[in-house]
Chain A
Amino acid sequence: MYTQALNTAESDDRALEDAAKAAQFQARIDAEERIEPNDWMPAAYRKTLTRQISQHAHSEIVGMLPEGNWITRAPTLRRKAALLAKVQDECGHGLYLYAAAETLGASREELVDAMLAGKAKYSSIFNYPTLTWADIGTIGWLVDGAAIMNQIPLCRCSYGPYARAMIRVCKEESFHQRQGYEIMLTLCRGSDEQKAMAQDALNRWWWPVLMMFGPPDAASQHSDTSTRWKIKRFSNDELRQKFVDATVPQAQYLGLSIPDPGMIQDADGHWRYSQIDWTEFKQVLAGNGPCNRDRMAARRKAHEDGAWVREAAAAYAAKRGQRQSAQAAE
C-alpha cells in the first residue's frame, strides 16, 4: 500500500533485549492494549513503525503531485474547488502522519531529508502520470478506494498515535473516493469521447492500483512480525481481494470494463483476477517508473525553494525571543 517497502526484511535485534520486557510487551499487544510513545517497546517495533509511518507520510505528500497537475485545468470551478480541497487534505494527512512518526523519536527534518535523499520510499502508485482529466476521477475512485481498504484496519493498529492519525485520515478519505467516482460517472454519461477517456484511464490505472497492496502473500514472508505486533491486520492478498470484489460492481455501474479479460467470478462470489506483472512493480519501486525522477525533482525543488521561508521564520522568532527577554530583564 502506501508502505510497500515494509515487505522487505527487518533485522531481528530483539535477541539483545530483555526477554521479560519483550514478553510483557507482546502480552499487552495480545490483550489489544494500545502502545503509547513513552511505553517500553522492542527496538524493531520502533524501527518498523518509524519506517512504515514515515513512508505513509511521504506517500501522502508525493501524492499531491499527480493531482496538483490538474488543479489549473479542472473543467469547472466546482471541480477545481473540490480538487484543491482534496489535495490540501493529502497534505494534512502527510502532516498528521509525520507527527505520529515523530512520537517514535525521529525528527521531522530527518524524515523529510531521508525522503529527499532517496533513502526513504513512497508508494509506487504516485510514479504514474495523470494524462487526462479522467485520471483525476480514477485516482479518487480507485487509488483512494484502495487506500481506504488498507487504512481502515490501521485505525486499530497497536500503536496509539498511528491509529488515531488513521481515524482522522479515514474520515476525510471518503470524500475523496466519492468525488472521484462522481467525475467518472459524469464522464460515462457524457459523449462517446468522454466515456472513452474514462475507459482509457481505467485501463492504465487498474494494474498499478492492484500493485498498491504489495507483493503476493507467498512472496512477502516478512509481514509475520507486523501481524504478530498487530500493526497489520490483513494480508496483502486479502485486502487486494476485498478491493477487487468491491470495485467490480462499481465499474459495471459505470458501464466500464476492467482490463482483465481473464477475470471470473467464483462460486463464492469473489472476482478472480489474472496474474499481476510483478516485474513492473519492482521496476517502479527501484526508481524506474514513468515519473519517479519527476516526482523527486519536484519535491526537492519545493524544499529548496522554501528554504528562505523557513530561515526567515526562524530568524523572526529568534529576534522576537531576544526582544522579549531583553524587556523582561529591564
Chain B
Amino acid sequence: MATPNTPLWEVFIRSRNGLAHKHVGSLHASDTTMALQAARDIYTRRGEGLSIWVVPSSAITASDPAEKGMMFEPAESKIYRHPTFYEVPEEVGHM
C-alpha cells in the first residue's frame, strides 16, 4: 500500500542576532509543532540558528522563471536609479 503524503514545509533560520531569516531547506511534518521540532533537529544540529520560521510550502507564490525577462525588465532599463548615473566633479570629493 502506498504511504499517504505528509505536508511539505519551508524552513527559514536566523543565524545571528541582527540578520534576516534565510531559507535553508524543506521538510515534511503533519503540523506546525512537529514542523518546528523537525526543523530544529534537521537544520540546527551545530548552533546554526537563534530563531526558526516554518511556512507551509503551499502558502508560497513564486514568480515564473520563464517570464523573468518581462518581470524584471523595469529594473533593467532604469539606469538613472543607480548613483553612478550621475556625474559629480572630482573636486567635490566623495559623495
Contact = CB atoms under 8 A, between A and B. Distances in A.
Contact of A36 (B25, B31, B34, B65): B65
A108 B31 contact: no
A314 interface: yes
Contact of B30 (A88, A168, A317): A317
A316 B29 CA distance: 12
Interface residues of A, number: 29
Contacts of A88: 41, 45
A310 B42 contact: no
A112 interface: yes
B6 A108 contact: yes
Chain B interface SS verdict (over half): loop
A95 B11 CA distance: 13
A168 B45 CA distance: 12
Given A92-B45, A109-B3, A113-B2, A99 B27 contact: yes
B30 A313 contact: yes
A22 to B, nearest CB: 15
A245 interface: no
A109 B6 CA distance: 8
A314 B30 contact: yes
B4 A314 contact: yes
A320 B8 contact: no
Nearest to A99: B26
A320 B25 contact: no
Interface residues of B, number: 23
B3 A112 contact: yes
Contact of A109 (B4, B25, B31, B34): B4
Interface in A112-132: 112-113
Contacts, number: 59
Interface in A298-323: 303, 310, 313-314, 316-317, 320
Contacts of A109: 2-6
Contacts of A303: 3
A30 B36 CA distance: 39
Interface string A146-170: 0000000000000000001100100
Nearest to B29: A313
Interface in A28-58: 36, 38-40
Contact of B3 (A36, A168, A310, A313): A310
A39 B26 CA distance: 19
A200 interface: no
Interface in B15-46: 25-31, 34, 41-42, 45-46
Given A107-B5, A317-B30, A92 B65 contact: no
Contacts of A39: 65
Given A85-B45, A96-B42, A99-B25, 4 more contacts: A89-B45, A108-B6, A172-B46, A310-B3
Q: Which 6 A-B pairs have the closest CB atoms?
A: A313-B30, A317-B30, A109-B3, A317-B31, A99-B26, A38-B65
Interface of A: 36, 38-40, 85, 88-89, 92, 95-96, 99, 102, 107-110, 112-113, 164-165, 168, 172, 303, 310, 313-314, 316-317, 320
